[in-house]
Amino acid sequence: MSSRTVNFKRRHQVWPPLLLLAAGWVLRPLEPRLLGPGDVPRLAAAGGIPVAVLGGMRSAAAGAYWLRANLAWERQDPVETRVWLERTVAADERPLYFWLNAARMIAHDFPAWRLTADAPLALRQRVEREQAEAALAWLDTGVRRRGPAAGLYLEMADLRLRVLGDREGAARLFRLAAEQPGAPWQAARLHAEMLRLLGRPAEALAWLRQILPGLPADDPAARREVVVQRIAELERLTGG
């Protein structure tokens, strides 16, 4: 495995501008009636409204706010975009899509909007780090509010590694990702790779030996043969 295998999709998906514009005009009269952050718990506590209906109301409100966030994104307005992103997850914190794509906006689009083409390298690096930290804080909030998910930890690991150059932090986050239900197989391999790059081959070897029994031989995505090969390499390196 090479560190080049750390290759997560960094682009977020946006709605076509004309569709967003039309949706914005349609939804504008409805905004006063959309749910606020605390409305669903209050309605549930009041009783009389089925939980499924409340969940649908949350989804509708969040979808409307997400459309407004994308309209602000089209205008390259970081302040307004952030406001609508916050309202989106306040209305419905459940969809992973909101958290991940918002983090990509914050980490990768906001710096471009803040910087001119001729910005000095030092300034560019500082702004990129600031926005990466802001995106990490956003994702950490996602972990606390919607619950842990492999996707959140993988996105955090990508930022730690690619933008901040923090291999130690990335290693920790790859492991957290690997430990989540339904995690992609590559999360465990990337944790081992980070340990190797950190000069801790014995830990990488122990980790790969631990995960090997759970890797199915008939699933190409598990890449069991790659893990077996890496174990052999680490055994030669460590004498273990």
Tell me 34's DSSP state.
S
Distance CA 165, CA 172 (A): 14
- Quote the pLDDT of residue 58: 86
C-alpha distances in angstroms, 10 versus 107, 108, 206, 231?
9, 8, 31, 30
- The residue among 227, 223, 185 whose CA lies nearest residue 206 is 227
Distance CA 63, CA 69 (A): 10
- Quote the pLDDT of residue 26: 43
Question: Over the stretch 90-137, which tens digit does the pLDDT of each residue have?
Answer: 999 999 999 999 999 999 999 999 999 999 999 999 999 999 999 999
Residue 211 in this model has a pLDDT that exceeds 50: yes
- Quote the pLDDT of residue 54: 54
Distance CA 185, CA 198 (A): 21
- The residue among 129, 143, 81, 109 whose CA lies nearest residue 11 is 109
Distance CA 189, CA 198 (A): 14
Distance CA 94, CA 99 (A): 9
- Quote the pLDDT of residue 51: 44
* Domains along the sequence of the chain with CATH: 11-124 (no CATH), 148-240 (1.25.40)
